[in-house]
Amino acid sequence: MTSSSPADARGRTPRRRGDSRRGDAVFFNLSRGAGVLLLVVMAAIAGFLTYRSALALGKNEGNFLTTFEWTPDAVKPVFGIAVLTFGTLVSALIAMLIAVPVAVGIALFISHYAPRRIAQPFAYLVDLLAAVPSIVYGLWGVLFLVPHMNGLTSWMDQYLGWTYIFDQSSSGVPARNLFTVGILLAIMVLPIITAVTREVFRQVPRMHEEAALALGATRWEMVRTAVLPFGRPGIISASMLGLGRALGETIAVATVLSTNSKLSLHLLDPGGGTFAENIALKFNEAQPLGRDALMASGLVLFVITLLVNGAARVIIARRKEYSGAAA
């Protein structure tokens, strides 16, 4: 307000100045408000889920962490997340074991190996893979992938059965198991891991690569000594982003997995469950207490993905500062 008087002296209308001030203030507050709203939403998600979970946990007659059953609407409500935790972690782990090496390979292919003419279209193609809705993945998984997995699973049962985890209790059942789910999740998280890794590989300083080649390194030696060390934080954070996706995937898992409440280390046996799948499938029949129980499991999932994603972002952010200093 005080600075508006010199403007008067120069013959400008004070009203306009006031307008722009007000405009600036309104716009600033509007945009800051949007940012704050996002924070509020995050806080509200955590708050509401915690509140509803507390209601449910108070009435739980079993141990929430170690119980296998999920019968919150029974006369004696009992529910626990042991099976769900196991299924979620195992399927995500299988997905990571398959997806990370393949994604790094694809990223290398696009950034360093592919002929120019196919690299760009192929990068688009991989991005398109990310756009396929998960329900379509699920449908394809259960009607195409599962029948094709049957041969592989019975072979693994026959020759790798001694490992215990690949032993099938009854052979010949459709492969709607955690292993197939893991493979499907691997296909689904491949694009996101590839996209991030590819960007990091592209930022590798040209000079490092050319120096390695000039010293007589083969292409692989160049990749190993220049590209991979530079890209390692990127690979780690990309994998964690993918892991977050795999942990929270709902409908594809619900379609493919034939669920039950048994915790079995036989990965090729149908059965088990995951957090997200359990919520989606149990939701419609759930009574009020059942819904609150599902919210408790949702809260656990929320916290897990929050930690995984947060860790990934912290790693990426550190990388950014580093490469920014180098540029």
Partner 1 sequence: MSTTVTVTDATPPQLSHRLTAARLPRWAPAGIAGGSIVLGCAVGAVADLKSHLQWGLISALLFLVASYAVSASVEGRRQAKDRFATSLVWVAFICAVVPLVSLTFYTVQQGIGAITPEFLSHSMKGVVATLSPDGGIYHAIIGTVEQVLLATLIAAPIGLLTAVYLVEYGRGRLAKAVTFFVDVMTGIPSVVAGLFILSLWNILLGFEYSGFSGSLALAILMMPVVVRSTEEMLKLVPNELREASYALGVPRWKTILRIVLPTAIGGITTGVMLAVARITGETAPVMMLVFGADFINSDPFNGPQQSLPLYIWQQYSQVNNEFGYSRAWGAALVLIAFVMGLNLIARGIARWRSPKGGR
Site for partner 1 in 293-312 (CB under 8 A): 294-295, 298, 301-302, 305-306, 308-310
Q: For partner 1, how many residues bind (rule: CB under 8 A)? A: 96
Residue nearer to partner 1 on the CB measure, 48 or 322: 48
Burial letters 222-252, b for 16+ CB under 10 A, else e: bbebbbeebbebbbbbbbbbbbbbbbbbbbb
d(CA 103, CA 239): 9
CA distances from 38 to 43, 45, 241, 267, 316 (A): 9, 11, 20, 40, 21
Does 68 interact with partner 1 (rule: CB under 8 A)? Answer: no
Instruction: Check residue 274 and report its DSSP letter.
Output: -
- From the CB of 264, what's the least distance to partner 1, in Å? 23
- Per-residue interface string for the shown chain with partner 1, residues 185-204, x marking contact by CB under 8 A: --x--x---x----------
Site for partner 1 in 234-293 (CB under 8 A): 241, 244-245, 247-251, 255, 275-276, 279-280, 283-284, 291
Does 223 interact with partner 1 (rule: CB under 8 A)? Answer: yes
Site for partner 1 in 8-47 (CB under 8 A): 20-21, 23-24, 26-28, 30-39, 41-42, 44-45
Helix (H, G, I), strand (E, B) or coil at 70: strand
Concatenating the DSSP letter of every residue in 116-137 gives: HHHHHHHHHHHHHHHHS-HHHH
Indicate which single residue of 59, 262, 313, 320 sits in contact with partner 1 (rule: CB under 8 A).
Answer: 313
CB 83 within 8 A of CB 68: yes
Residue 112's nearest CA partner among 274, 214, 242, 231 is: 231
Site for partner 1 in 72-131 (CB under 8 A): 101-106, 108-109, 113-114, 122, 124-129, 131
Indicate which single residue of 65, 132, 160, 207 sits in contact with partner 1 (rule: CB under 8 A).
Answer: 132
Does 54 interact with partner 1 (rule: CB under 8 A)? Answer: no
Does 135 interact with partner 1 (rule: CB under 8 A)? Answer: yes
